[in-house]
Amino acid sequence: MRAQRARNSRSFMASFTGTPLALAVAAGLSITATAVSAQTITVWSGYPEMAPFYEHVAESLKDEYPDLQVNVEAIALREHEKRIALGLTSGSAGVTVIELAGSTASRYIENDLLPAAPENVASFVSDPANFDAFFVDTAGKGGTVYGVPLFRGQGALFYNVDMFEAAGLTEPPQTMEEYTDYAEKLTQRDANGNPTVSGWSLRLSGGGQGIAEKFWINLFQYGGSVIEEAGDGKWRANYANEAGRKALKQYLENVHVLKTVTPEMPADAEAFERGQTAMFIRESWVIGDIAAKAPDLNYATAPLPRGSIALPTNLYVNSVEGEDAEAAWAFTLAANEPENLIWLLDNVGWLPNRSGVDYSVVTDRVPAFAAFVDYPEGYEFFTLPAIGPIEEVLTRLAGQLTNAFGNANLAKDDAAIDAFLASAAEETNNILSREGLLAE
C-alpha cells in the first residue's frame, strides 16, 4: 500500500463527464466554475487519517476550480463530536461538509439541524447500482436521504503470524471459546508470570462509547446485542441474558483469572504494531496504519466467528443555501468518484461503501483485505441503530463496563455478573423510556 498521497493527474473534466457530479449539473445544480470559484468549504472529519483523502478530493476539484478553497479539519472523534454539537446548534459552522455516522446524525436530523439532500444527490444515493439498501437506510431517515454514504468501519481479527507459529497455532480461532484458548497460548510472561505480551488485546479502558461498541462486537458472536428492535420503532436492552453473561465473563476471565491481558498493558493497533499483543479485533484502517508504521510486521486477518459490526460513515452538509450548498454537495459527490474511492482504500484503508467499483487493484495486492471483503457465506452484519439516544446508551454502558472489567470479584460469580447486567440493562431501558422508545 502506498504510504504517501498520489496526486490526481488526470483532467477533472475528463473524469467529470458521466459522473454523479455531472449528473448534478444536469439536474440543475448549476455547479459551474463561476458558481464555486469564490466558495470556501470546510470539511469536518473525526478521523485524522482521513485528512489526506479529503485533500485528495479537494485537489481534484481545484485542478479545474483554482479559486475553490477547501479546508480540511480532521481531529479525534470525540472532539469532532463535540465540535459538531456546538457548531450546528449555534449556527456557527459556516459552509461545512460533515463526516458523521448515520446513528449519530439522527439526533441532528430530528432537530432540523441537518437538511435533506437535494433531489439529484438523493437520486444518486438511492440508486441500487451505487449503494446497497443497508447503506441507503443509514444515510437517511423516514425514507428521506440526508447524507451521502462514504466508508464504513468493519471488524475482523488481526493476528501476528510469527507469534501464532511460535505457539503452535496454524489457523485463526474459529469460535469465541477458541479466542480464550488462543489467548492463553499466545500470552508471553516474565519470570514472575506477569504478562509482557498480551495474548488478546481487549478494549478495557478509554473514553466515550468505544468500549461498549467493542463489547457489542464480542456480544454479537454469542447471539446478543446491546439493544434490539421490538417493532414499531421501539427498542429494549438485549444483554442481560446468557449471551451477555458469556461475553462479559470472557472479558473477566482473561483479565482476572487467566491474566492474558490487563488494563495497564499497551493496547490496540499501536500495541499490535509494536509486537506487544498477539491478536485483536479492529477495523480495516489498521491495514494502512501497519503499512505506514510497521511495514515488516508478519500478520494476517480473519473473519469473526459469526459476523461483524459495520458502521457506515456518511457526508452531510449543514443548513446552508444557494451556491454554498451547491459547492458542498458537489464535494460529497466528488468524494464518491471511483478513482477517489480506490485511492481511499489504497491509501487510508477504510472500506468504501459504494457498489459497482472495481477495487481489485487494491485487494489483490493486499491480502489482509480478504477478511473484510471475502467473508464466509452467511456472515452477518449489524450496525448501531439510528435513534437519538444511542450515544448516551453506549456511553453510559461503557462507563458501567469499565467498572466491571476492574472488578475481580465478578470473574467467577455468574450470579454477580447477571446482577450487574440486569442493573446496566435497567439503565439502558430507562434512557429508552425517557425518549419514548422503550418497547413494552
The C-alpha atoms of residue 30 and residue 26 are separated, in whole angstroms, by: 8
Q: Whose grid coordinates read 493486499?
A: 366
In the prediction, which pLDDT does 185 show?
A: 98
Query: 36 or 186, which is more confident?
Result: 186
Task: Give the DSSP H/E element, type plus range, for residue 371.
Answer: helix 370-373
Q: Is the pLDDT of residue 103 over 50?
A: yes
In the prediction, which pLDDT does 205 show?
A: 85
Q: Whose grid coordinates read 446491546?
A: 226
Could you give the residue ranges of the DSSP H alpha helices within 204-348?
Answer: 210-221, 242-252, 268-273, 285-293, 322-334, 338-347
Q: Three-state SS across 67-114?
A: CCEEEEEECCHHHHHHHHHHHHHHCCCCCEEEEEEHHHHHHHHHCCCC
In the prediction, which pLDDT does 213 show?
A: 93
The DSSP secondary-structure symbol of 190 reads -
Task: Give the DSSP H/E element, type plus range, for residue 43.
Answer: strand 40-45
φ and ψ at residue 108, rounded to 5 degrees: -75, -35
- CB within 8 Å of 166: residues ≥ 6 apart: none
Question: What is the amino acid identity at position 228?
Answer: E
Strand-pairing partners, residue 316, are 98
- CB within 8 Å of 233: residues ≥ 6 apart: 437
Q: Residue 319 — pLDDT band, cuts 50, 70, 90?
A: confident
The tens digit of pLDDT for each residue in 246-288 reads: 999 999 999 999 999 999 999 999 999 999 999 999 998 899 8
Q: Whose grid coordinates read 436530523?
A: 109
The C-alpha atoms of residue 152 and residue 288 are separated, in whole angstroms, by: 15
State percent of the chain over pLDDT 90: 67
Label residues 99-136 b or e (16+ Cβ within 10 Å = b).
bbbbbbbbbbbeeebbeebbebbbbbbbeeebbeeebb
The DSSP secondary-structure symbol of 116 reads P
The tens digit of pLDDT for each residue in 219-247 reads: 999 999 999 999 888 999 999 999 999 99
Q: ∠311-317-322 over CA atoms, to 5°?
A: 160
Q: Is the pLDDT of residue 307 over 80?
A: yes
Range in 13-17, 57-61, 182-186 the model is least confident about:
13-17
Q: Residue 195 — pLDDT band, cuts 50, 70, 90?
A: very high
Question: What is the amino acid identity at position 417?
Answer: I
Average pLDDT over residues 85-109: 86
Q: Is residue 325 packed enough to be buried (19+ CB in 10 Å), middle (13-18) or exposed (0-12)?
A: middle
Q: Is the pLDDT of residue 35 over 60?
A: no
Q: Is the pLDDT of residue 173 over 50?
A: yes
The C-alpha atoms of residue 111 and residue 388 are separated, in whole angstroms, by: 10
102's grid cell: 448515520
Q: Is the pLDDT of residue 433 over 90?
A: yes
In the prediction, which pLDDT does 16 show?
A: 30
Strand-pairing partners, residue 282, are 156
Question: What is the amino acid identity at position 118?
Answer: P
Q: Is the pLDDT of residue 3 over 60?
A: no
The overall average pLDDT reported for the chain is: 88
Q: Is the pLDDT of residue 439 over 90?
A: yes
346's grid cell: 489504497
DSSP notation for 412-434: T-HHHHHHHHHHHHHHHHHHHHH
State percent of the chain over pLDDT 70: 91
Q: Is the pLDDT of residue 209 over 90?
A: no
Average pLDDT over residues 327-354: 93
Q: Is the pLDDT of residue 135 over 60?
A: yes
Q: Is the pLDDT of residue 4 over 80?
A: no
Q: At what angle do helices 242-252 and 210-221 cross, to 10 degrees?
A: 120
Average pLDDT over residues 392-421: 96
For the beta carbon of residue 392, count every other beta carbon within 10 angstroms: 16
